[in-house]
Amino acid sequence: MYLLVVLAIFTFILAFVILKIYLKLTIGKCYCNVYLNGKVALITGGNSGLGFHLALALAGRGCRVIIADKDDCEKTKENIIAQTGNSNIVTKKFNLASLRSVRELVKDITDSEDRLDFLINNAGIGGTGKSYTEDGLDLGMQVNFFGHFLLTHLLIGLLKKSSPSKIIFLSSKLAFFHNLSLDNLNYPQDQVGVVSAYLKIYANSKLCSIIAARELSKKLTGTEVTVYAVHPGVVYTQIYLRNGKVPSLTNTIYKLFNTIMTKPLSRSPEEGIQTALHVILCKQIVKDTGKLFAECKVHRPPAKAEDSDFAKKIWNASENYVRLNPNEII
């Protein structure tokens, strides 16, 4: 019995090590060496995690970087300037959990910027439990998707003016574990349970980002604005530590799982931004507008994202949820 236990432990450890090695060896790398002097990028959630490292990478290539975040970003700005020598860094404070705040940010951007070359919809939040915003929207869905959906619509004019330009939606392979429907696009409060709080709402929001990229690319046919969804891989960032209002026991189990399994198998933020960088910098992917990228190459999306009828219904419902004016509809 003792030998069986030892053998089982050894087998698990060996499998774990092999998996970690495999994951490291299959990480995509961006080889596009493009200088971005004169270009402008707006990154949501650029104060930490992937957003910060993307801001750092773009600033290092001479890009003017606008970091839009709900937290104060002045220290982040100083850090980026110190590391890159690029002082052309701007910070904006806004909250994706407020449609009003999104509109205020857009007014600020359009009043102060002559161009926008890259819109990077990066900000996100993990499990949120039974939390709803002042707009009556599920907190996770609004921060991860609805807020970016509105932001993108309102900045289309500036992106067209600056074309060729790109829109990037940060997504996740967790989108494959969705249960998205028209009925739970704005997750009903009576359906929010433990699993939903940690997986389904997040997964649904990431599927919506993939759908938005596909549908928006169709609507922008004939323009030089291209759109992409990006899966960065499993990256252990602050999103794993911001769990919203969830039961304490569930939260404890969640953090324990992340410490034991997720963190050891995760890639670094520098590795996690490679696909996003590839999409931002590579000029040869124009033909792949609307597609999902992972490991710096096109990746097949969840089946629901390829269901045109379903995608159109999600798009139309999203327009209503974010309260677009008739002249703002693309």
**Chain-centre distance for alpha carbon 155:** 17
For residue 66, what are its two tokens? 């606008």
Integer CA distances (angstroms), 315 to 181, 212, 271, in order? 12, 7, 32
Annotated catalytic, 202? yes
Smallest CA-to-CA distance from 139 within 210, 242, 233 is with: 242
Smallest CA-to-CA distance from 154 within 105, 117, 97 is with: 105
Smallest CA-to-CA distance from 215 within 165, 273, 155, 153 is with: 153
Question: Residue 148 in contact with residue 209, Cβ under 8 Å?
Answer: yes
Question: Residue 61 in contact with residue 97, Cβ under 8 Å?
Answer: no
Q: Is the dihedral of CA 211, 171, 109, 290 positive or negative?
A: negative
Q: Which of 187, 198, 202, 228 is catalytic?
A: 202
Strand partners, 325: none
Task: Supply the residues annotated as catalytic.
Answer: 202
